[in-house]
Amino acid sequence: MAESSKDGEAPAGASGEAVDAVLEETWFPVGDGTKLFLRRWFPQEPQSPPPAGGKSGNRGTLRGIVHIVHGMAEHALRYERLARRLCAQGIAVWAADQRGHGRTADPLVNDPGKGGLLGHCRDRDGIAHIIDDINRITLQIRETHPQTPLFLLGHSWGSFLVQSYIEQHNPGLAGCVLSGTRGPGGIKILLGVPFMTLIAAARGCRRGSALACLMANGPYNKPFKPKRTAYDWLSRDEREVDAFIADPRCGQLSSSGFYRDMLGMLNRIHTGKALAAIPRDLPVYVFSGSADPVGEMGSSPTALVNALKSLPVTDLEFVLYPGARHEVLNETNREEVMGDLIAWINKHCAAPGKR
């Protein structure tokens, strides 16, 4: 890895709370010569959990590590508030800007056809390369901290990637977390794959696709009246929505190749064969909002959870927050959401199991 650097950007939704954490930033090289911009938050003084009835913990090694995979048209720094909350529990966080996102999408650093173009992950085999990227980071964490419980958390597009990852790899995770996710897609996604393949071939896979964006995201804002912005569906907290809109690395028009690859992934990950490959003893935590249009107002993640139950995944927890929209971690009840998530992670840090 290259030498770490500092970045003065403020994350969307920063709470301003003071938590002792050290942020390291570096470039992480992956298989095809691309470099991912990687952020790592570490507790300044890692703590072990307090004893029962005690007031403070003892100094100790890291209690856990969470590897975060962000969503579409955003970047890893938007998870800094959660990262600092986790650091307060003695849990470190690793999070990369994925191909075509954040600081990784820099044509001066990366080939535009391999992740250096904002909104476009790769000309060909984008999802396969991103899954490999996630695996390389996971293996690096394993090599660096071999005895520390490791969790994988994905939000939205990131949750689809994480689900695909656990269907293909079994690195002994302590747990998997899916936020703002969805289940089997139905006819719209099934027909979307050949349509977007045609658009990408006819117009060029790197070109932004306003049509695909309209088809995919257009209906999301319809349930929310009166309409204040095009992104009201993200959160009830207007400050969080405004921060997303103001962020130059958020909300970009994604390429036809991006939509082609995402729809193809959604078709693959929900097949019976793919779901059956998920380790039965992998703890899984799913949380979403009942007013999240990506999750069809709660029905889609519910369908996914039911599919996981039928495998059966033996340690499965699902929380559907009433009234919450897509970015549950940036919602008006985010303290409740983060508290529930951290409690689940703490429980699985302490539980015997895979490491």
CATH of the domain at 311: 3.40.50.1820
The whole-number pLDDT of residue 353 equals 53
Q: Which residues form the domain of 166?
A: 21-46+58-350
User: Rounded to an integer, what distance in angstroms lies between the CA atom of residue 135 and that of residue 25?
Assistant: 19
State in Å, rounded, how far the first CA of the chain is from the last one: 24
User: Per-residue pLDDT for 119 more than 50?
Assistant: yes
Of 41-55, 249-263, 294-308, the poorest mean pLDDT is in 41-55
Please indicate, yes or no, whether the overall pTM of this predicted structure exceeds 0.85.
yes
Q: What is the pLDDT of residues 66-85, one digit of tens each?
A: 999 999 999 999 999 999 99
The answer to whether residue 120 sits within a structural domain is yes
DSSP 8-state secondary structure symbol assigned to residue 89 = T
The answer to whether residue 206 sits within a structural domain is yes
User: Rounded to an integer, what distance in angstroms lies between the CA atom of residue 154 and that of residue 156?
Assistant: 7
Q: Would you state the torsion angle of the CA atoms of residues 324, 329, 330, 335, taken in this order, to the nearest 10 degrees?
A: 90
The answer to whether residue 323 sits within a structural domain is yes
Q: Does the bond joining 312 to the residue before it have cis omega, within 30 degrees of 0?
A: yes
Number of structural domains the chain divides into = 1
The whole-number pLDDT of residue 16 equals 42
Q: In sequence order, what are the residues at sequence separation of 6 or more whose Cβ sits closer than 8 angstroms to the Cβ of residue 272?
A: none
The answer to whether residue 277 sits within a structural domain is yes
Query: What value, to the nearest 5°, has the Cα angle with vertex 56 and ends 51 and 62?
Result: 85
**241 touches 235 (CB < 8 A):** yes
User: Rounded to an integer, what distance in angstroms lies between the CA atom of residue 95 and that of residue 321?
Assistant: 25
**Residue 317: alpha-carbon gap to chain centroid:** 18
Q: Would you state the torsion angle of the CA atoms of residues 225, 228, 229, 234, taken in this order, to the nearest 10 degrees?
A: -60
User: Per-residue pLDDT for 202 more than 50?
Assistant: yes
Fill in the amino acid letter for 36: L
Percentage of the residues of the chain whose pLDDT score is greater than 90: 78
**95 touches 83 (CB < 8 A):** yes
**Residue 326: alpha-carbon gap to chain centroid:** 12
The answer to whether residue 7 sits within a structural domain is no
Q: What is the pLDDT of residues 1-60, one digit of tens each?
A: 333 333 333 344 344 444 679 999 999 999 999 999 999 999 986 444 443 333 333 334
Instruction: Classify strands 35-43 and 64-69 as parallel, antiparallel or unpaired.
Output: unpaired
- Average pLDDT over the chain reads 89
Tokens of 321: 């927050």
User: Rounded to an integer, what distance in angstroms lies between the CA atom of residue 73 and that of residue 133?
Assistant: 18
Q: What is the pLDDT of residues 91-109, one digit of tens each?
A: 999 999 999 999 999 999 9
The answer to whether residue 11 sits within a structural domain is no
The answer to whether residue 110 sits within a structural domain is yes
Task: Give the model's confidence band at 215: pLDDT under 50 very low, under 70 low, under 90 confident, else very high.
Answer: confident
The answer to whether residue 4 sits within a structural domain is no
